[in-house]
Amino acid sequence: MLALSTTSCKLAENYTDPEGPRYSGSYASDESDAANLPELKVVTFNIKFGEQHAKAAEEIATRAELSDVDILLLQEMDAPSTDAIARRLELDYVYYPGSVHTNGRDFGPAVLARWPIVDDKKHILPHKNPTDGRIRIAVAATVRTPVGDIRAYSVHTEVPWLGPRARLEQAQAVLDDARSSKDPVIAGGDFNTSDPGALDQTVNLYTSAGYSWASRGAGDTAGALTLDHLFTRKLETLDAGTTPSDASDHRPEWALLAYPAQR
């Protein structure tokens, strides 16, 4: 049946060039300084196909748990919706699409930040969707905060029909890429941990590599499921949670972290 469905399904249009397409913008203010940074606020948010991006931006701007975000990790975005959110929130951003979705819009993750993004990378994850050949990617960005660089990854692994082992290998690929960085690391996004055992396996994968599960206990992020996660290295978690949203089928997930200089 899988073979039949694969041959009858239209193959996805993938962007297999590791250099692009690449989109970026700079809307952040340079007036803030390190003295005003007792905490680092990180949010990850899968905005369903980026369709309700204006509503999502307003939620982030006006809800206490999300406002004044320092690093924002987005999934299921295209370039116009990413730029609109960055402009509304006055953040810098880098965005790479991995493919064109069935709705005709580009589909990929983005990293937005209050501070300059000095380095970035599109990381093509191993394995393709078994039905249409779609690839998944992670976007990595080095954010130059006033108290040091932080490496941030916006991650979106495949849905469960890829199989648990292959999806764990996608999560592992992010860890492999981050291994060479000496900076504190944030890896967050939609890990699609809905199938039995997937949540524990993903958490064990990251904690075994020396990461903290920053969003532990934050709550469900998609209906009654916990699909979205934040993992950190060399950063202390102070608090975490989720916030209801009318802009997506996912809830934004947030964490307050202590900067390395204040640990």
From first to last of the 263 residues of the chain, give the pLDDT tens digit. 344 344 457 899 999 999 999 999 999 986 555 555 678 999 999 999 999 999 999 999 999 999 999 999 999 999 999 999 999 999 999 999 999 999 999 999 999 999 999 999 999 999 999 999 999 999 999 999 998 999 999 999 999 888 889 999 999 999 999 999 999 999 999 999 999 999 999 999 999 999 999 999 999 999 999 999 999 999 999 999 999 999 999 999 999 999 765 54
247, 47 in Cβ contact below 8 A? yes
In the numeric block, the tokens 């380095």 are attached to 119
In the numeric block, the tokens 């976007």 are attached to 139
Q: Check the CA dihedral 228-165-168-174 and report its sign.
A: negative
At the top level of CATH, which class does the domain 2-13+41-262 belong to? alpha beta
pTM: 0.94
Residues 253, 219: Cα–Cα separation, whole Å: 9
Of the candidates 106, 153, 155, the one whose C-alpha atom is nearest the C-alpha of residue 134 is 106
pLDDT number for residue 260: 67
The CA distances from residue 55 to 84, 245, 262, in Å, are 11, 9, 34
Encode burial over 46-81: b for 16+ CB neighbours within 10 A, e otherwise: bbbbbbbbeebbbbbeeeebbeebbbbbbbbbbbeb
Strands 23-25 and 92-95 come out as: antiparallel
Residues 230, 228: Cα–Cα separation, whole Å: 7
142 phi and psi angles, rounded to 5 deg: -95, 120
pLDDT number for residue 32: 56
120, 141 in Cβ contact below 8 A? yes
Strands 148-156 and 185-190 come out as: parallel
pLDDT number for residue 201: 97
Of the candidates 182, 134, 140, 183, the one whose C-alpha atom is nearest the C-alpha of residue 157 is 134
pLDDT number for residue 1: 37
